[in-house]
Amino acid sequence: MRKFFLAMLILVSGWSQAAERNYKIYDCFPFLNEYDLLAIRLRELSDKVDYFVLMEAVETFRGNPKPLYFQQNKHLFEPYLHKIIHVVVNERYKPGTADPWGREEFQKNQVIRGLVNCSPNDVIIINDCDEIIRNRNFDEMLEILQAGGHGRIVSCEGGFYQFFYNRKMGEWNGPAMTHFSTVQALSPDGIRARRDHCGFHVRNAGWHFSNMGGLKTYVEKLASFSHGEADIPLHRDPNHIYGAVQGLRLVEIDDSFPEYIKENVEYFRSKGLLDDGTGYR
C-alpha cells in the first residue's frame, strides 16, 4: 500500500510538470516480456514523461508466434495505465521469409502509431525496453535537445549490465531523444541508427540491463532476437554462461541504480536477479 501511494504521488508530480510545458514527452520502446524492466522504467520516468508508448507484436523478430504478454498482464501496472499507449502489431512481416532485421525494423517503426496526436515540437525518446534514462539526468538531455532545435538528436550513455543487475560489462549508448518532426523525417528506427553519431551524448546518464531474468529467459531471448547467429548450443550451455558471468564486474547496488531496484533489493535477490558472486550456480 505504501508503494502504491508513492507511485500515485509521483504521477501527480508528473502531471504538474507537464502542465508547465507547451509540449509533451513520449517514451517509446518495444516489449517482449520484460516485466521487471518495465516496472523499473515506469517508476524511474513517470514524473518526466507524459506517455509511454509500448509496442508489442504477435511474432518475435525471428518470425515465431508469441503471446501479447503486456495485454495479458496489464493489470500488474494499474497505477500507470493512463500513461501507457499500447500499440499492438497484428500484422506478420513478410510471412515465410527469414529476415529478422527487416522484421525488427518494421516492428520498431510501429511505435509511430502511438504518436498520432503529436505536434512537431513534442519530444520523442526512442529506445529498447532494457535501456532506461536516469531520472536525475533526464532534464540535462532535454536542455541539450531544446538548445539545438529541430533536427538534433541527443543520446544517453550509461552502464551496461549483463545477466544480473549487479554484473557490469561496461558502457552502452542507448536511448535517443529528439523532436517529433525529426522522427517524421527519419523514422523511429532511423533515429536509433543515428544515435552513435549524433554528436550530443550525455554520459553516465542511465542503464542498459541486458539478458536479465535468469537462464530460461536468456534462452528465450536467444530464440527471439535478430542475432540468429548467436542462437547456438554453446551460448545455451549453462557452463558457458557461467563463465561469461564470472568475466563481468560484480558491483554493489548503490545510489547510482534505479529507484525501483533500490526500493526492492530483497525482491530482486529472491528472484535470483542479483548475483552473490556465484553466478547461476
Model confidence band, residue 218 (pLDDT cutoffs 50, 70, 90):
confident
Higher pLDDT, 139 or 62: 139
Calculate the alpha carbon distances from 216 to 5, 121, 211 in Å. Answer: 34, 42, 10
The pLDDT of residue 259 is above 80? yes
pLDDT digits (tens, 9 = 90+) for 45-97: 999 999 999 999 999 998 989 999 999 999 999 999 999 999 999 998 887 77
C-alpha Rg value of the chain to the nearest Å: 18
What CA–CA distance (Å, rounded) separates 163 from 273? Answer: 8
**DSSP state string for the chain:** -HHHHHHHHHHHHHHHHHHT-SS-EEEEEE-SS-HHHHHHHHHHHTTT-SEEEEEEESB-TTS-B---HHHHHGGGGGGGGGGEEEEEE-S-SSTT---HHHHHHHHHHGGGGGGTT--TT-EEEE--TTEEE-HHHHHHHHHHHHHH-TT--EEEEEEEEESSTTEEEEEEEEEEEEEHHHHHHH-HHHHHHTGGGSS-EESS-EEEEES-S-HHHHHHHHTTSS-GGG-SHHHH-HHHHHHHHHTSEE----TTS-HHHHHTHHHHHHTT-S--SSTT-
pLDDT at res. 221: 66
Q: Please state the rounded mean pLDDT for residues 178-184.
A: 98
The pLDDT of residue 177 is above 80? yes
Model confidence band, residue 278 (pLDDT cutoffs 50, 70, 90):
confident
Tell me, what amino acid is at 117? N
Domains and their CATH numbers in the chain = 2-210 (3.90.550.10)
The pLDDT of residue 4 is above 70? no
Calculate the alpha carbon distances from 257 to 40, 222, 264 in Å. Answer: 10, 26, 11
Q: What percent of the chain has pLDDT over 90?
A: 70
In 10 A of CB 90, how many CB atoms? 8
What CA–CA distance (Å, rounded) separates 116 from 51? Answer: 12
pLDDT at res. 194: 94
| pLDDT averaged over every residue in the chain | 89
Phi first, then psi: give them for residue 178, nearest 5 degrees: -155, -175
pLDDT at res. 1: 39
Find where cell 516492428 sits. 107
Task: Give, to the nearest 10 degrees, the angle between helix 215-222 and helix 238-246.
Answer: 100
In 10 A of CB 215, how many CB atoms? 15
Model confidence band, residue 20 (pLDDT cutoffs 50, 70, 90):
confident
pLDDT at res. 152: 97
pLDDT at res. 10: 52
Q: What percent of the chain has pLDDT over 70?
A: 86
What CA–CA distance (Å, rounded) separates 150 from 113? Answer: 21
Strands 51-57 and 249-250: unpaired
The pLDDT of residue 5 is above 60? no
Tell me, what amino acid is at 2? R
Q: What is the SS3 assignment for 141?
A: helix
